[in-house]
Amino acid sequence: MVKITALETHDVRFPTSRALDGSDAMNPDPDYSAAYVVLRTDSPDGLCGHGLVFTIGRGNDVQTAALAALAPMVVGQSVEAMIADLGSFARRLTGDSQLRWLGPEKGVMHMAIGAVINAAWDMAARHAGKPLWRFIADMTPQQIVSQIDFRYLTDALTPDQALQILRAAEPGKAERIERLLAEGYPAYTTSPGWLGYSDDKLQRLAREAVEEGFRTIKLKVGLSLDDDIRRCRLVRAAVGPDIAVAIDANQRWDVQQAIDWLWPLKEFGLAWIEEPTSPDDVLGHAAIRRGVAPTPVSTGEHTHNRVMFKQLFQAQAVDLVQIDAARVGGVNENLAILLLAAKFGVKVFPHAGGVGLCELVQHLAMADFIAITGKKEDRAIEFVDHLHEHFIDPVTIRAGRYLAPTRPGFSAEMHARSIAEYTFPGGIVWRDLPAAESA
């Protein structure tokens, strides 16, 4: 029997706060970080699985400790049994009664469980010799349904309803796989729009993004209304009327404040306003959506589990949603969320950026196109162009589109050298920083 022999963890941090990359209204100085996990096996071919939780610096040690705490539930387990029934594997971790108390199904412990579940999916896809999107796409509808924990969902989505959605997508699968491989999947970019950037840099980067083929650009907003109006105007002038411009407030406002702030921004024909308020505030998003119509409202990158997504849909609180590959309980919970979105007819624009989030979430969007909704040209995956060089199978963007990865697995694996150099606080990068600048 091939067994999992170790759950290995690494606290990896990049000193990104030095360049104001990633600055927004709530996060002025993030150090993009990963609590990184590897499942090792005694397979003669070196089979392993990689996963990560993205954080923005302080607390990455706590997140790493949460990964390590899962070792007793995983080490010694049969790889074959795990791969053959990832649904049961995921439910055993998310359902552990003692660990569940620490959430339930939210925060540090839930994200750690999600990363270990993602590492198991990475291993399963590698073992099958397929990229993860294809590994999911090749499952039968019944196999996909068996991945999902329907607890707390059945008032919005039953296993039978999920099965119907998946069966309806079966015709045309092969043709869609060909199209995906040929065309790629639309991307949108947030790289021009960080709050810390100057007006010149914003306009220059926005123009460059359009020249590179992006059709949607997103700006960070929420610190100063005058700045936001000026920046929206500058970007609109730079990119012309045919490019979609979205804005992201990163949870900055209260409900009425959001409605008031967004009023003068209506003229720019925004594609969506993202995270106007607390990610927990389902009813607040619904009120904002009514108050700022027709501007579409969106949230999701911090939405902590399927129960919250369910309510966003039930309350008609959003026009579209983000999903995040490393916030919820792994691939299994994201499949539930994608099926809920399909049931309610809400488009998904996956959240990415950070460390490895582009690499991960592309697989989920592509699996959705092949096996769930059959749609991709009316939606897009976020793209931010940094830190990809640390990954063994980095995303490939061509003409504003993600090319489908072909290498087996979930694209989560980082270069061993990057892990070593950026390990906090002992890696060479952190040792060489002036003491006053370290976290």
257 binds a second copy (CB under 8 A): yes
Least Cβ distance, residue 29 to a second copy (angstroms): 7
Q: Which of 85, 138, 149, 254 binds a second copy (CB under 8 A)?
A: 254
Least Cβ distance, residue 263 to a second copy (angstroms): 17
Nearer to a second copy, 108 or 366 (CB): 108
256 binds a second copy (CB under 8 A): yes
Least Cβ distance, residue 90 to a second copy (angstroms): 17
Instruction: Tell me the three-class secondary structure of the chain, residue by residue.
Output: CCEEEEEEEEEEECCHHHHCCCCCCCCCCCCCEEEEEEEEECCCCCCEEEEEEEECCCCHHHHHHHHHCCHHHHCCCEHHHHHHCHHHHHHHHHCCHHHHCCCCCCHHHHHHHHHHHHHHHHHHHHHHCCEHHHHHHCCCHHHHHCCCCCCCCCCCCCHHHHHHHHHHCCCCHHHHHHHHHHHCEEEEEEEEECCCCCHHHHHHHHHHHHHHCCCEEEEECCCCHHHHHHHHHHHHHHHCCCCEEEEECCCCCCHHHHHHHHHHHHHHCCCCEECCCCCCCHHHHHHHHHHHCCCCEEECCCCCCHHHHHHHHHCCCCCEECCCCCCCCHHHHHHHHHHHHHHHCCEECCCCCCCCHHHHHHHHHHHHHHHCCCCCCCCCEEECCCCHHHECCCCCEECCEECCCCCCECCCCECHHHHHHHECCCCHHHHCCCHHHCC
316 binds a second copy (CB under 8 A): no
Nearer to a second copy, 132 or 255 (CB): 255
Q: Which stretch binds a second copy (CB under 8 A): 74-82, 253-261, 355-363, 372-380?
A: 253-261
107 binds a second copy (CB under 8 A): yes
115 binds a second copy (CB under 8 A): no
Catalytic residue selected from 351, 363, 376, 390: 351
255 binds a second copy (CB under 8 A): yes
Nearer to a second copy, 112 or 119 (CB): 112
Q: Which of 251, 299, 373, 423 binds a second copy (CB under 8 A)?
A: 251
What is the size of the binding site for a second copy (CB under 8 A)?
63
How far apart, in whole angstroms, are the C-alpha atoms of residue 331 and residue 86? Answer: 10
- Cβ within 8 Å of residue 164, ≥6 positions away: none
Here's the x/- map for a second copy, 19-58, by CB under 8 A: it reads as -------xxxxxx-----------------------xxxx
Q: Which of 5, 43, 77, 278 binds a second copy (CB under 8 A)?
A: 278
71 binds a second copy (CB under 8 A): no
Q: Which stretch binds a second copy (CB under 8 A): 62-70, 345-353, 385-393, 418-426?
A: 62-70
291 binds a second copy (CB under 8 A): no
Q: How many CB atoms lie within 10 A of CB 399?
A: 11
Q: Which stretch binds a second copy (CB under 8 A): 59-67, 168-176, 336-344, 388-396?
A: 59-67
351 is catalytic: yes
Touching a second copy, residues 87-106 (CB under 8 A):
96-106
Q: Which of 8, 20, 43, 61 binds a second copy (CB under 8 A)?
A: 61
Least Cβ distance, residue 259 to a second copy (angstroms): 10
Catalytic residue selected from 106, 127, 130, 220: 220
- Cβ within 8 Å of residue 419, ≥6 positions away: 10, 12, 36
220 is catalytic: yes
Binding site for a second copy (CB under 8 A): 26-31, 55-59, 61-63, 65-66, 69, 96-112, 151-155, 251, 254-257, 277-284, 287, 302, 304-305, 307-308, 310-311, 314-315, 439
Catalytic residues: 220, 351
